[in-house]
Amino acid sequence: MTVSRLIARPMLASIFVVGAVNALKSTAGPAARAEPVTSRLVPLAKRAGIPLPEDPETLVRLNAGVQLGAGLALATGRAPRLSSAVLAATLVPTTAAGHRFWEAQDPAQRTQQRLHFFKNVSVLGGLLIAAGDTDGKPGVAWRARHAAKDARRQAKHLAGAARQEARLAKAKVA
């Protein structure tokens, strides 16, 4: 692992670990902000077959637990691609619930919420990069392309060898 990854992953994860601990300590505030979003998302999730609790406080705790686990995994380098993808997935509803700047009436609060909203959009970009980072090793797509290329080459070779054997067998019979 490069030094930049060794430093950058814990830095990226730190906001999730701190935010999750704060959300677990005090769920009432985040739950109140999340309620307008959870009231729309939970029925959609249930129709899709995803069993989610309806209580916003329970959803905030669940989200915080997932962010804490994935944040610690990313910070320690355990399954960094998976943990980055999980954090990205949890960040979308967190941002939609916590930073709805378009609903703020006070101009100062609107500016503050817009700043936090776009900070989260930036962090989401970093998570998407981290989720795709193969740490300099070939990714699954590269390996699949090269395995297919090797299989085609092998099949072509085997077909040529089979034609050669067929010609030799035909010459023996004749």
How many Cβ atoms from other residues are within 10 Å of residue 126's Cβ?
15
Q: What is the mean pLDDT of the segment spanning 83-103?
A: 92
Does the pLDDT of residue 138 top 70, yes or no? yes
Confidence at residue 1, expressed as pLDDT on a 0 to 100 scale = 66
CB 88 within 8 A of CB 128: yes
Higher-confidence position of 136 and 117: 117
pTM over 0.85: no
Confidence at residue 57, expressed as pLDDT on a 0 to 100 scale = 92
Nearest to 127 by CA among 16, 2, 18, 38: 16
Does the pLDDT of residue 141 top 90, yes or no? no
Calculated CA dihedral for residues 29, 32, 36, 38, nearest 10 degrees: 80
Residue-wise pLDDT for 66-81, tens only, equals 999 999 999 999 999 9
CA–CA gap between residue 102 and residue 118 (Å, rounded): 13
Query: Which amino acid would we find at residue 97?
Result: A
The structure tokens 């990205």 sit at: 88
Q: What is the mean pLDDT of the segment spanning 114-136?
A: 92
Confidence at residue 143, expressed as pLDDT on a 0 to 100 scale = 81
Higher-confidence position of 172 and 174: 172
CB 66 within 8 A of CB 92: no
Mean pLDDT of the chain: 91
pLDDT category at 19 given cuts 50, 70, 90 is: very high
